[in-house]
Structure 1
């Protein structure tokens, strides 16, 4: 077993996601009929970075590359399929932290604990439900809207850590996704071999504890500590970029819209701020809270309207409107046409990379 990328590159500032998360990406894009150079170029990723698993990739660029690969290759389930073939070793430090753990249960626990160091601006939790664990994953970067491909990839990565020990026949109890149900959703059910639920509050796997009482075949306590220490060293180099308070607020607003109009007080609480402090800091960045909520809704509306299977009524719910009429009035104020007319016009013209939110 090698140490997979531990070296001088680990001293570079880590600002997004480690390049190990894109292992084999160019080959997989080619396999699905896409052009890797075009995908990476439009996403602002230097191809040479992908050959160094401990270098850092901007998280918005990474998510954009996955969405762009799906669009350009015509493979709508690109992230799903990429994740299903993604073996734990390919994840570099994070993968080996799982593989070197003593038991499968500890592998899952260590994997969840290490994930926030592997990928920043993300929320990862392992929730103890008694007879099961729920592995939650959610991007918290406020500048990232289109993230379906990343979510399906990540659920596949976590599933494969368990299947590495229990075999490809193993299936989670259930799988949850934030995004709306895609057209070819039956493929999700087939590959996970489990009930799939869309438009949920978080991306999650529900994993029965009884399935986790197995020793890891490659357990190595010394190498586990080396991997954990190396990941800590990468992060101790510091971050050259921090999320702005506006981006952090956008991320919270997007998560809360399913429950209706997001209140300022609740958003501030989630960010660890007093409401007046949040308002002041947003003003310092040139935006008010109400305008920010409207901007998020407008961005999400144009994104979801490009999903042909999503009805206008379902879309209005995703944006936190209690009535379709309220959404329609807001949309006409933004664009001067109804949501249905906008969708028809968008269908009649090709989509460019700049149309995808990153």
Structure 2
């Protein structure tokens, strides 16, 4: 309903050539719908849709102001540049978070690159240009989760390793010791986790 009215306002005139069709029988308030909606209103159609003739898309918008459009475009471009400058890893970070939330394990380099539609090598270069490696970013991003999982006494070290995307607990232990200077078991013991 709002779309039909929007088309009318966009053109600055009624649009009786539009057709609003509903994929269900006429409701009790069908008469009111026919009053409010401009153009033809049809019930029991094969699908629900608002059909607008293609020719209406080529009609000028009465509210169009080139100066306003140009100013708005420049403001959007400036805001985008500002966001990129303040968060150079923005697209990468969003893709990493999206994939992390969608999987039971952290994403791999190839998965993030594929999600961004770029090659792994291009992603590596982008990260390096901003002082990161994929492994270092992944570790930094997963550290809070790692600490949370290790603090949970109901999880074995094998389960923690699996949830963090390691193929086995020994690979997890080696990586953990290299980063933190102690084994996951020693870390747990320091937390007084049974």
Q: Which has the larger radius of gyration?
A: 2
Question: Looking at both structures, which has the greater relative contact order when contacts are Cα pairs under 8 Å and sequence separation is at least 6?
Answer: 1
What's the TM-score once normalised by structure 2's chain length? 0.46
